[in-house]
Amino acid sequence: MSRLTLSTQNQVESTLEGIYNYMEHHLKFSPQDTCPIDITGAFLRLYMTQSCGKCTSCRSGLPQLSYLLDSVLQEKATLETVDEIERLADIITESADCVIGSEAAKMVAKAIKGFRDDFVSHIENHVCLAERTDSIPCVAHCPAHVNIPGYIALVNDERYEDAVKLITNDNPFPVVCALICEHPCEARCRRSLLDAPVNIRGLKRTAIEKATRVIPPERLPETGKKIAVVGGGPSGLTVAFYLQLMGHQVTVFERHKQLGGMLVYGIPAYRLPRNYLKRDIEAILSTGVEAKLNTNVGVGEYSIDNLRKQYDAVYVSIGAHQAKDIGIEGEDAEGVISAVDFLGKIGDEEMVDFTGKNVCVVGGGNVAMDCTRSAIRCGAKSVSIIYRRRREDMTALPEEIEGAIAEGAHLIDLHAPLKIETDENNKVVAFWARPNMVSKIKHGRMNPVDSGMDDVRFECDVVIKAIGQGTDTSGFDETGIPLERGLIKADNVTSIDEIPGVFAGGDCVTGPKTAILAIAAGKVAAANIDEYLGYHHVVQRDIEIPEVELKNREYCGRVEMSERLPEERKHDFLLMEKAMTDKEAKQEAGRCLRCDHFNCGIIKGGRKAW
């Protein structure tokens, strides 16, 4: 008789594991406009199914918490119930024997702190808060709120020019965003509940490749108002585009010799070729926007005070072009260069020659990856990325990290910058880093600490600092523009309360962010500046959207964008990403579930339909 047997998964366990996988996938992509209290109650009931029930906290406390949450949804609770839920959750957190009970209670306590107003609204008005009403996930998560299902339907119908026209109703950079947008619209795509999110950016790329030109909407009658825009980056050009279309006259002041801001001086041509960027900028200028290049605004003739006297409103969008120091010994050495300076030179087509040199790039964001891949293209013998946290903690897009490694870069994570070693001529000879180890998680992110291992020396000739950028506000503080932590202080409608008629947005307000967030700030500012001037113009053109096709939704894989082979692309700055084929675009566009037509409707938890 056998003493032991091999454990095998029976049908129940196999099916249950499949259900867990389905739940995990469903929760990851579930819409955010569901009732938060209902979701909290559902999670609590899931915790209860996992509890052994041996301790009183789990056996009696968790069911009581569930009962109290249900009473809020069933219109039986009072405001005192909210305090009781919070008190009971704290008690269970401290007294539960296992992590299941304590984490369940922590979740409920976090819910009370995070959306107490929802609890109050349910109790007093028997509905969820009104602001959670957008039931088209991709549109809600696009900062510019572009009609994404609409232009996907137009691509599916092969009406590419109409698709680009529809995009420009809300975003004057359709070409740019087709190439470099981080596509937050895909984060909650409902197609993910079936298989994978629709490749939205890829379909936009198809539209701009087929349309060949960007046609702005018709300009409204002239108002006689003049607006000055300080900074010709994505935010400044966006506000200029829409205000010009509203009938105002806009002048953009740009200190560099080219318009585009970080689109030119921060994004290499292998991601965003200059002829593609030129298409968007030419469309913006075709509306009548005037541009003054090589003009530094701040003091003297072009001070903010003088601009206020000459113009009816001023929008400040000076970006974040100031490099940040690492704060280590040797940063003043010959061979140390900032990401801003390095990418800026490439933007002006002043190519840096790294032939035969070993390069260390310090940082873990998209800018660091751009520097890494550009250094390889500039002939570097080797490129190493030094990052103090883990690879999974890097803020760069996964595909950017993978692309850099595929092109030959070495990723050295969990190594903190220590010092830069120099020779007798103050030239870089090595970069020193201290090995880190994983430690406690703070604010949802792992905090690295010294591992106790010996410091590591990396021989190199060049060190590129890519740990972030700041804003050069010199000349602006003297005019009364409020600053906070090195950034311009503006409210969420982009106005500066202390100075009527002056608005600000983009990276100079938020710190370095993405192009689409800067574009969104410009769009918001255009509407609010127009309102400030006494108007309520709406820039819109009606595009007939194809009717919805009623058909079965079959499981179908997502079409990914292909790239030129690493060995080929790493030697030049030509566009590395390929567009979809016609067949791929047709299939991918057909995967869209058309949430603009089939929306959520009335949601459990007292939500009203919108």
Q: How do residues 438-460 score in pLDDT, each as one tens digit?
A: 998 887 788 899 999 999 999 99
Residue 525 lies in a domain: yes
pLDDT digit string, tens, across residues 101-129: 999 999 999 999 999 999 999 999 888 87
Statement to judge: residues 304 and 328 lie in one domain: no
DSSP string, 347-389: HTT-----BT-EEEEE--SHHHHHHHHHHHHTTBSEEEEE-SS
Residue 6 lies in a domain: no
Q: Give the Cα separation of 378 and 391 in Å (integer).
A: 25
Contact 228, 610 (CB under 8 A): no
Contact 464, 342 (CB under 8 A): yes
Number of domains within the chain: 4
Statement to judge: residues 336 and 460 lie in one domain: yes
Residue 10 lies in a domain: no
Statement to judge: residues 187 and 278 lie in one domain: no
Confidence of residue 153 (pLDDT cuts 50, 70, 90): very high
Question: b/e map of 434-459 (b: 16 or more CB within 10 Å)?
Answer: bbbeeeeeeeeebebeeeeeeeeebe
Statement to judge: residues 350 and 440 lie in one domain: yes
Residue 5 lies in a domain: no
Residue 147 lies in a domain: yes
Residue 15 lies in a domain: no
- CA distance to 32, 289, 441, 460, per residue, from 28 (Å): 10, 43, 21, 42
- CATH number for the domain spanning 202: value is 1.10.1060.10
Quick one: pLDDT at residue 131? 53
Quick one: pLDDT at residue 602? 40
- Percent of the chain, pLDDT > 90? 73
Q: In what order do the strands lie in the sheet with 249-253?
A: 290-292, 249-253, 226-230, 313-316, 502-504
What is the average per-residue pLDDT within 310-338? 95
Query: pTM of the entire structure?
Result: 0.89
Statement to judge: residues 505 and 495 lie in one domain: yes
Q: Give the Cα separation of 365 and 372 in Å (integer).
A: 11
- Percent of the chain, pLDDT > 70? 97
Statement to judge: residues 147 and 256 lie in one domain: no
Quick one: pLDDT at residue 599? 62
Residue 424 has pLDDT above 70, yes or no: yes
- CATH number for the domain spanning 88: value is 1.20.1440.230
What is the average per-residue pLDDT within 150-169? 97
Statement to judge: residues 459 and 486 lie in one domain: no
What is the average per-residue pLDDT within 9-23? 83
Is the model more confident about 10 or about 229?
A: 229
Residues of the domain holding 45:
34-125
Statement to judge: residues 331 and 464 lie in one domain: yes
Statement to judge: residues 93 and 171 lie in one domain: no
Residue 156 lies in a domain: yes
- CATH number for the domain spanning 233: value is 3.50.50.60
Residue 598 lies in a domain: no
Is the model more confident about 426 or about 15?
A: 426
Quick one: pLDDT at residue 604? 43
pLDDT digit string, tens, across residues 250-269: 999 999 999 999 999 999 99
What is the average per-residue pLDDT within 39-47? 91
- Asked which of 125, 159, 179 is the last residue of a domain, the reply is 125
Quick one: pLDDT at residue 549? 83
Return the percent helix, strand and coil in the chain, to nearest 5: 40, 15, 45
Map residue 467 onto helix, strand or coil: coil
Quick one: pLDDT at residue 132? 52
